[in-house]
Structure 1
Amino acid sequence: MRYLPLTPADRAEMLGVIGADTVDDLFVDVPAEARLSGPIEGLPAHASEMAVERHMSALAAKNLSAGTAPFFIGAGAYRHHVPASVDHLIQRGEFLTAYTPYQPEIAQGTLQVLFEFQTQVARLFGTDIANASMYDGSTACWEAILMAARVTRKDRAVLSSGLHPHYAEVVRTMAKFTEDDIVSLKPELVAEADDAAVIAAIDDKTSCVVVQYPDVMGRIPDLAAIADAAHAKGALLVAVVTEPVALGMIEAPGALGADIVVGEGQSIGVGLQFGGPYLGLFGCREKFVRQMPGRLCGQTVDAEGKRGFVLTLSTREQHIRREKATSNICTNSGLCALAFSIHLTLLGGEGLAQLAAVNHDKAQTLIERLAKVPGVTVLNDAYFNEATLVLPRDAREVVRELADRKVLGGVSLGRLFPEDIDLHNGLLVTATETVTDEDIETFARELEGVLA
C-alpha cells in the first residue's frame, strides 16, 4: 500500500469541515506549559545509528531490572516464569501478524484460539461466558461499571478501598465523561478487608460494587457476603482479579456470587515488559451477554456440517451498532491473549494449582522471615502471594535504600496512596515461583540493615 501524503489544500479543507483554523487549534485542551515550543533542549539535532544505539544502551544499563536482582514487586504486575515455548509459538507468522478476524473463512485459526481463550477465562473466573479480551485490567474494570449501569439502569458505583488505586483512578477519569457517581471508600492500614464498609455503602441507587480479590494489600475479602448484600439492593458485584494465578488456590469469584469478573491477565504467559502491553480479562453471567463489551467468538457449523468459528455479538462501535455500541474499545490484546492461552494450556488445571501452591509457599517463607526483622510487623495473616508489612518509617525511603543495595523490595503504599499519610509506612511485598531462598535471605538481611 502506497503512502499518499495530504497536500496543504487537503489539510485546509479538512480543518474547514471541523471548524478549526489551524492544526494548533486541535491541541487547545493541552495546557500551554505542556506543549513544546521548539526543539527539546540538550537533544542533538541528529546522530548516527551507532551513536544512538550506544547512548541508549548506556541509559538502559542504569536500570535495575527484574531479572538482575532479588525481586519482590507485585501490586498488579507479577514476575512469573514464562516457558520458552510460549514466545516461540506467538511469533509464528499466522499469529504475529493477525488482526481482527472479520473474514472467518481465512481466519479460522485465530478465531479458534480466541474461542479457546474465552473458555479458559470463563472457567478460571467461574463465569458463564468471557469475551475475547480487552486492553488491560483497569480499562476492563471501567467497562464492567458501564455494563452494570446498563443492566441495572443505575449510575452509582461503590469502589472498595482495596481496589488498586490505578484502577480506581481510571474509573474516576472515565466517569468525568459519563457523569456516573463514583463512591471511593478510604483505605486503612488494617488486617481485614473493608467488607463491612462496602456493604454499608450499598443503597438502592447503587449499580455495582467493585471489589478486588485478593485486594491491593493482599487481603482476601468475603465476596459471598458482599454479593448477597449487593443483590438485596438490586446491584451487581464486580470482582477484580489482578493476580489470576491466585485462582489456582482460592475460590473463583463467579462461584461466590460475582456477576461480572474482570482482571489483568499479565501473570499468565505475558512478561512484565516494563509495564505493557498487558491483557484485560472479562467474564460475566450469560444473561448479561448482550451488554458485555468487546468481541465474542462463537462456535458453529458450516454448510457441510463441519465445526467452524465466527465473530458473534460484536456490539462494537465499528460494527452495525455504531453509537449504540456497548463499548468504544475497537480491538483486543490478541497476541497477549494467545500467550495467556498457550501458557494456561501448558499448565492445565493441575499445573495451575501446583503453581499457585508454590507461590503461596514462597510468600509464607518470605513473610515469616521478614517478620523476624526488628521493627517489622505483618499486617494481614491471610494472603496468597503478597502481603503488607508495616515498617517503623516511610516505606518509600526504605524501597529506595533497598534499591541502592540491589534489592527490589516491594511497593510502598505511599507510592500507591500518596495522599493517605496513614498508609506511608506500609510496604507490599510479593513472592512468586521465581524467588529463591537466597533472594529471601538477601532481602531480609538488607532490610535489617536499612532499618537499623
Structure 2
Amino acid sequence: MRYLPLTDTDRGEMLGRIGVSSIDELFVDVPAEARLDGPIAGLPMHMSEMAVERHMRALSNKNLSAGDAPFFIGAGAYRHHIPASVDHIIQRGEFLTSYTPYQPEIAQGTLQMLFEFQTQVARLYGCAVANASLYDGSTACWEAVAMAARITRRKKAVLSGALHPHYAEVVRTMAKFTGDEIADAEPAIQPTPDNDGLIARIDENTSCVVVQYPDILGRIADLSEIAEAAHANGALLVVVNTEPVALGAIKSPGELGADIVVGEGQSIGVGLQFGGPYLGLFAVRDPKHVRQMPGRLCGETVDAEGKRGFVLTLSTREQHIRREKATSNICTNSGLCALAFNVHMTLLGEKGLRQLAAENHRLACLAADRLAQVPGVRVLNQSFFNEFTLMVGQDARAAVHRLAEKGVLGGVSLGRLYPGVDRLAEGLLVAVTETTTEGDIEALASALEEVLA
C-alpha cells in the first residue's frame, strides 16, 4: 500500500507559499527536450518478470562494450584496468552499506579510509589539504569557482577555452543562481594552449582563472606563467584535472602555483559505469583556505587514552545548524568511489602510479605516430599525456559513426563536444590507456584509412 500523506489541498498550499501555480513550474530550468512528456518509447507498460529480463537483455545486447572492441574514447572518462581486489574490498558489508560517519566511535574504519584518501589526493595534487570527495569533477569545478569568489570577494571567473565544455556548462548553470560573471571562450585549434590569450582576459575584477591540465585537446600547458598572472591581479588559479593518472608523469598543479585543484577521480579504481557514479576530487594549496572548502574533512586525533583515532574535523557543507553560513549545498561525498580510489592507489603506490603513467604515455606515442601516417590525418598536439587531437579533414562525427560500424570505438569528435562550432568539426579526440594493445592501434589506423578514403 502506498503512503500518500499529502492531499491536493496540502500541495496547493505549498505551491502557493513558494509562488508557483503547478509542480511543472519547478522544472522550468530543465530544457524541454530533456523532459519526458509520457512513457519511455519502446518500453511496454506491463510484462512478466521473465519477459522483462529478456527485454532488458535484448536492449543491453545493442551496446558495444568498451571491453569488446578497440576503445579510444576519453574526454573526461577513461578505461583503465581495475584490479579484482578493488571490487572485492569495496563489496565488504561495512563499506558497501556505510553512511556518513557522524558517530566516530563506530566508524573508525570509514574515517581512516577517508583520511588516507585525503592524503593521497593532497600528495597527487601537490596541495596541503584535500577534502573527503565531492560528486564528480564538474561539480567540484563549480565549487572551486564559488570558493574563489568567497575568498577574493569578486564575482568574475575567467574560464580557459580549453576547459572541458561540460565542466564549463555546469559552471555557467550554477552561476545563474549566484550572479557570478563567467567569462569563457572556445578552444584555439593550435598545437599549444593559448596562454597569452587567457592571461589577457584576467583583470582586477577576476576572482579566479580556471584551466584544465592536460586540457580538453590533450595539450599540457605551463601553469606557472598563468599562476603568476592570476596572482598579480589578486585572483586565484583553479586547475582542473580529468585524468589523474597523468600526474604520475607530469608535475602536480600545486607545484606549478595552483591555489585550488579539482578533478575527476574516475580513472583510479572506478569503472566507466555508463557515466557514473564518479568521484570529485578537491584540494587547496594554502591551509588558510581550508575553512572555505566545500564538503567534509576527516582528521587524525587521539582519544582520552592517547590512542590514535579519526574524526570528522570540518563539515562545512550545510553546516548542520547554521545553514545560512554554509559554503556549499553539497551534502554528501562519493564514499564508495573514494574507497575504490583509495584501494587502487594503495595497490599501485608511487612507483606503480609512475609505471602506469609511463605505459599510458608510451602507447599514446605509438598511436599518435601510427595515426599520423593515415592519409589526411594530422596530429594537432606538440605535447600530450595519453590523449591527443587528430584533425581528419572532414566531419569527425560522421567518421566516428563509420568507425563504430567497423567495430572500432575511435574517439570523441569535437563536433559532439562543441555542436554548431564548424571550425572544430574536423577534430577527433583520441585516448589511449594501458588497456590499449598495439593491435587495437593498428585496427584504428586501418579502419580510419578506409573511413577517410
TM range (shorter): over 0.9
Which deviations, in whole Å up to 9, do the C-alpha atoms of 1:370-423 show, x marking residues without a partner? Answer: 000011011012100010010110100100000000000011011111132101
Q: One-letter code of the match for 1:12? A: T
Which deviations, in whole Å up to 9, do the C-alpha atoms of 1:198-233 show, x marking residues without a partner? Answer: 111100000000000000000011100000000000
Q: Is the 8 A contact 1:73 1:408 kept in 2?
A: yes
Looking at structure 1, the residues matched to 33 and 396 of structure 2 have their Cα atoms a distance apart, in angstroms, of 33
Q: How far is the alpha carbon of 1:44 from its aligned partner? A: 2.7
The residue aligned with 2:77 is: 77
The residue aligned with 1:305 is: 306
Shifted more, 215-224 versus 24-33: the winner is 24-33
Q: Is the 8 A contact 1:71 1:407 kept in 2?
A: yes
With over 3 angstroms needed to count, the CA separation of the structure-2 counterparts of 1:8 and 1:392, relative to structure 1, is: closer
Looking at structure 2, the residues matched to 316 and 262 of structure 1 have their Cα atoms a distance apart, in angstroms, of 17
Which deviations, in whole Å up to 9, do the C-alpha atoms of 1:140-167 show, x marking residues without a partner? Answer: 0000000000000001000001100000
The residue aligned with 1:182 is: 182
Task: State the TM-score, normalized to the length of structure 2.
Answer: 0.96
Looking at structure 1, the residues matched to 384 and 18 of structure 2 have their Cα atoms a distance apart, in angstroms, of 58
Q: Is the 8 A contact 1:160 1:209 kept in 2?
A: yes
SS for the counterpart of 1:340 is helix
Which deviations, in whole Å up to 9, do the C-alpha atoms of 1:16-55 show, x marking residues without a partner? Answer: 2452699981222446887666655664331001111101
SS for the counterpart of 2:22 is helix
The residue aligned with 2:215 is: 215
Which deviations, in whole Å up to 9, do the C-alpha atoms of 1:180-214 show, x marking residues without a partner? Answer: 00000221211111211111110000000000000
Looking at structure 1, the residues matched to 354 and 452 of structure 2 have their Cα atoms a distance apart, in angstroms, of 36
Q: One-letter code of the match for 1:168? A: A
Equivalent runs, 1:152-301 vs 2, <5 Å = 152-284=152-284, 285-301=286-302
The residue aligned with 2:339 is: 338
The residue aligned with 2:52 is: 52
Q: How far is the alpha carbon of 1:90 from its aligned partner? A: 0.1
SS for the counterpart of 1:81 is coil
Looking at structure 2, the residues matched to 223 and 374 of structure 1 have their Cα atoms a distance apart, in angstroms, of 34
The residue aligned with 1:25 is: 22
Looking at structure 1, the residues matched to 359 and 39 of structure 2 have their Cα atoms a distance apart, in angstroms, of 52
Q: How far is the alpha carbon of 1:298 from its aligned partner? A: 0.6
The residue aligned with 1:107 is: 107
Looking at structure 2, the residues matched to 105 and 150 of structure 1 have their Cα atoms a distance apart, in angstroms, of 34
With over 3 angstroms needed to count, the CA separation of the structure-2 counterparts of 1:432 and 1:36, relative to structure 1, is: closer
Give the paired residue count.
449
The residue aligned with 1:368 is: 369
Looking at structure 2, the residues matched to 368 and 71 of structure 1 have their Cα atoms a distance apart, in angstroms, of 17
Looking at structure 2, the residues matched to 111 and 21 of structure 1 have their Cα atoms a distance apart, in angstroms, of 39
Looking at structure 2, the residues matched to 37 and 395 of structure 1 have their Cα atoms a distance apart, in angstroms, of 33
Shifted more, 77-86 versus 50-59: the winner is 50-59
Looking at structure 2, the residues matched to 52 and 27 of structure 1 have their Cα atoms a distance apart, in angstroms, of 31
| Unmatched tracts of structure 1, length 5 or more | none
The residue aligned with 1:378 is: 379
Looking at structure 1, the residues matched to 72 and 397 of structure 2 have their Cα atoms a distance apart, in angstroms, of 14
With over 3 angstroms needed to count, the CA separation of the structure-2 counterparts of 1:23 and 1:37, relative to structure 1, is: farther
Q: Is the 8 A contact 1:15 1:22 kept in 2?
A: no
Looking at structure 1, the residues matched to 130 and 34 of structure 2 have their Cα atoms a distance apart, in angstroms, of 40
Percent identical residues: 70
Looking at structure 1, the residues matched to 263 and 39 of structure 2 have their Cα atoms a distance apart, in angstroms, of 41
SS for the counterpart of 1:414 is helix
With over 3 angstroms needed to count, the CA separation of the structure-2 counterparts of 1:451 and 1:122, relative to structure 1, is: same
Task: State the TM-score, normalized to the length of structure 1.
Answer: 0.96
Looking at structure 1, the residues matched to 164 and 111 of structure 2 have their Cα atoms a distance apart, in angstroms, of 32
Q: How far is the alpha carbon of 1:316 from its aligned partner? A: 1.6
Q: Is the 8 A contact 1:188 1:423 kept in 2?
A: no
Which deviations, in whole Å up to 9, do the C-alpha atoms of 1:264-316 show, x marking residues without a partner? Answer: 00000000001000000000021100100000001111111111111112112
Looking at structure 1, the residues matched to 246 and 18 of structure 2 have their Cα atoms a distance apart, in angstroms, of 54
Q: Is the 8 A contact 1:15 1:21 kept in 2?
A: no
1:6 is aligned to 2:8? no
Which deviations, in whole Å up to 9, do the C-alpha atoms of 1:56-75 show, x marking residues without a partner? Answer: 11111111110000001111
Q: How far is the alpha carbon of 1:318 from its aligned partner? A: 5.0
Q: Is the 8 A contact 1:188 1:422 kept in 2?
A: no
Q: How far is the alpha carbon of 1:15 from its aligned partner? A: 4.2
Looking at structure 1, the residues matched to 379 and 38 of structure 2 have their Cα atoms a distance apart, in angstroms, of 52
Looking at structure 1, the residues matched to 41 and 132 of structure 2 have their Cα atoms a distance apart, in angstroms, of 44
Looking at structure 2, the residues matched to 36 and 27 of structure 1 have their Cα atoms a distance apart, in angstroms, of 12
SS for the counterpart of 2:218 is coil
The residue aligned with 1:98 is: 98
Q: Is the 8 A contact 2:111 2:311 kept in 1?
A: yes
Looking at structure 1, the residues matched to 6 and 252 of structure 2 have their Cα atoms a distance apart, in angstroms, of 58
Looking at structure 2, the residues matched to 77 and 123 of structure 1 have their Cα atoms a distance apart, in angstroms, of 22
The residue aligned with 1:433 is: 434
With over 3 angstroms needed to count, the CA separation of the structure-2 counterparts of 1:378 and 1:41, relative to structure 1, is: closer
Which deviations, in whole Å up to 9, do the C-alpha atoms of 1:51-108 show, x marking residues without a partner? Answer: 1110111111111110000001111000000000000000000000011101111111
Q: How far is the alpha carbon of 1:5 from its aligned partner? A: 1.9
With over 3 angstroms needed to count, the CA separation of the structure-2 counterparts of 1:315 and 1:37, relative to structure 1, is: closer
1:150 is aligned to 2:150? yes
Looking at structure 2, the residues matched to 240 and 34 of structure 1 have their Cα atoms a distance apart, in angstroms, of 27
Looking at structure 2, the residues matched to 344 and 270 of structure 1 have their Cα atoms a distance apart, in angstroms, of 11
The residue aligned with 2:141 is: 141
SS for the counterpart of 2:176 is helix
| Unmatched tracts of structure 2, length 5 or more | none
Looking at structure 2, the residues matched to 41 and 431 of structure 1 have their Cα atoms a distance apart, in angstroms, of 36
SS for the counterpart of 1:177 is coil
